[in-house]
Amino acid sequence: MKWKKWPFVLVGIILLIGIAGSVLVLQRPGTNLVEIVQDGEVLYQFDLLQAEDQIIKVEYSGRVNTIEIKDHQIHMLEAECPDKTCVNAGWLNSAAPIVCLPNHLVIRFTNNSNIVDGVVG
Ligand SMILES: [Zn+2]
């Protein structure tokens, strides 16, 4: 095999791992509980396995973050923040949280359940 082909092979392998990971949920840190935190206060908490597809809007100082839950995954759909780091972070799929620093917003996996009878906020 020519060395020039290696990058393509690698990309293919990475894609396959990514697909397998998203299907098998291998990357998740042992929990499906996700919380949306603003200024240290938990605004919402979801069990992603049970969560319906939905859009959540969170406001901070007049700036709105739009969070989407779809197919039992969560991400920042839109954000009125200058850097868009949170939007570019994509789907939450590891222990690394999605953070919107300008709007003091964090989306992360958690082990602390405040869910009562499966109903949240
Ligand atoms: Zn942001």
- How many angstroms does the Cα of residue 71 sit away from the middle of ligand 1? 22
CB atoms within 10 A of CB 61: 8
User: What tens digit of pLDDT does each residue of 6-36 get?
Assistant: 788 888 888 887 777 665 554 556 789 999 9
Residues 64 and 9 in one domain: no
Closest by Cα among 28, 67, 31, 74 to 51: 74
Residues 35 and 23 in one domain: no
Residues 54 and 111 in one domain: yes
- pLDDT score at 23: 59
- How many angstroms does the Cα of residue 13 sit away from the middle of ligand 1? 31
Residues 64 and 103 in one domain: yes
* pLDDT above 90: residue 95: no
Residues of the domain holding 97: 31-121
- How many angstroms does the Cα of residue 61 sit away from the middle of ligand 1? 13
Residues 24 and 35 in one domain: no
- How many angstroms does the Cα of residue 110 sit away from the middle of ligand 1? 20
- How many angstroms does the Cα of residue 87 sit away from the middle of ligand 1? 6
Rg of the chain over CA atoms, in angstroms?
A: 17
Q: Can you give the CATH number for the domain in which 85 is found?
A: 2.60.320.10
Residues 15 and 47 in one domain: no
